[in-house]
Structure 1
């Protein structure tokens, strides 16, 4: 009798272990499929960059020329209007804007749903980067893709050594210097501050002061904003801090027209 009871218990334990094993294997398979899809999306982005780079026949020309073929880019997705490249990071992506705000938070460049999404701005911002505040959003991917590698700016040495980065549109290249990297709250900057006004820009810059001393926060205090200086904000989530955002705040230094 006792042996039978023990045998039944063993059978139940074995069954439970088999069920747990099956669940674990199913979850692993699902995770691998998820990672495969992410890799496919990343490869799509990389291929897009390679296929749309413009070949310049005469590189002795004094006039700057566009690096990307935006007509070809728009064949992939009509909402592409710019390309952002940040040296020494993984940020080298098209920038999109839709009539539906936050569409590309969970929509990929091919229109499929889910991660990694795209780098995007909302329709309150001009596509000419001529607002006093422009905000670009991207996911904090663990792989470092999208805006995940912006967290490198939180390292003081990287921040101090960094020079400039660029955004290109069909008609111009915009050169930015980094003013600050800030552990900020999750408020909607474009709604809280007037992106079209100098007063809105100044109020936003002033709001950053309250963040001094926060983790991953650094400033280049020699950078000043005055007159019609424009600000670009790159916004990404912070792991484990759902109500915080890491902002890379930059100043537009130069516009090179094509």
Structure 2
């Protein structure tokens, strides 16, 4: 092999490896299915005592897992599953605030308690678990006005790691509706902003003294966004923030802000 051909051959290999790396990053982000617990009916009836945080004791119950993948479900089937999963968890833990489906990212319970650290290390059954569970900020009044949900970020895509996909413009604008069920209503959202911030100097605001203050805040978010929807966002819109860690710089946080498009009561 001539000396001229060798550099060209090496360059070609590097280009191929680089392309494969980009493709791998896009395809290796896992989708989060949900592992529904199916409890023994007899055992469940014997578990009637609540602990001091409002969860029934499930440690002595026998159960199996059923994997729930909602990606190919129609809307009616998706909603049916969200209702069932919400009820199943609420039988054991009154901290359940809702259920969220983020298309092409994952399907999760959403917890809420008076401690924003608790569900960083506990699952929806209040068992210690490294992955934790997505949870609603303690200062949020459900999903009525401004809601902020936190979740861990794993580079594999586990938990809220899949929110990385919203950094791609096509995904941001074309992904399907995010759906939340809170036990009474289904809420549907579309993104209007994505941005990064340094957690030690900034935090997402969830309470406002007036509509004017809220409107000004949302405009400030739009001004610092990587992408922003051209759909008008009135200050009366209900807003959902999804927040997770980011590795673009030290102590970074990634936030995708959504506006509610419509609501449906069951």
Do the two structures share a fold, i.e. TM-score over 0.5?
yes
Aligned to 1:250: 258
Give the CA deviation at 1:210: 4.3
Alpha-carbon separation, structure 1, partners of 2:213 and 2:66:
39
Aligned to 2:188: 175
Aligned to 1:88: 104
Unaligned runs of 5+ in 2: 1-31, 39-64, 69-75
Alpha-carbon separation, structure 2, partners of 1:66 and 1:241:
38
The answer (yes or no) to whether the contact 1:177–1:252 under 8 Å persists in 2 is: yes
The answer (yes or no) to whether the contact 1:134–1:195 under 8 Å persists in 2 is: no
Using the size of structure 1 for normalisation, the TM-score is: 0.67
Aligned to 2:228: 219
Aligned with 2:91 (options 57, 75, 78): 75
Unaligned runs of 5+ in 1: 1-41, 54-60
Q: How does 1:95-106 map to 2 (within 5 A)?
A: 95-106=110-121
Structure 1 stretches of 4+ with a deviation exceeding 3 A read 48-53, 64-67
Alpha-carbon separation, structure 1, partners of 2:176 and 2:209:
27
**Secondary structure of 1:249's aligned partner:** strand
Aligned with 1:109 (options 116, 120, 124): 124
**Secondary structure of 2:244's aligned partner:** strand
Using the size of structure 2 for normalisation, the TM-score is: 0.65
Give the CA deviation at 1:251: 0.3
Alpha-carbon separation, structure 1, partners of 2:248 and 2:194:
18
Is 2:204 aligned against 1:189?
yes
Between Structure 1 and Structure 2, the one with more helix by share is 1
Alpha-carbon separation, structure 1, partners of 2:82 and 2:222:
37
Larger Rg computed on CA atoms: 1
Give the CA deviation at 1:164: 1.5
The answer (yes or no) to whether the contact 1:183–1:244 under 8 Å persists in 2 is: yes
Alpha-carbon RMSD: 2.9
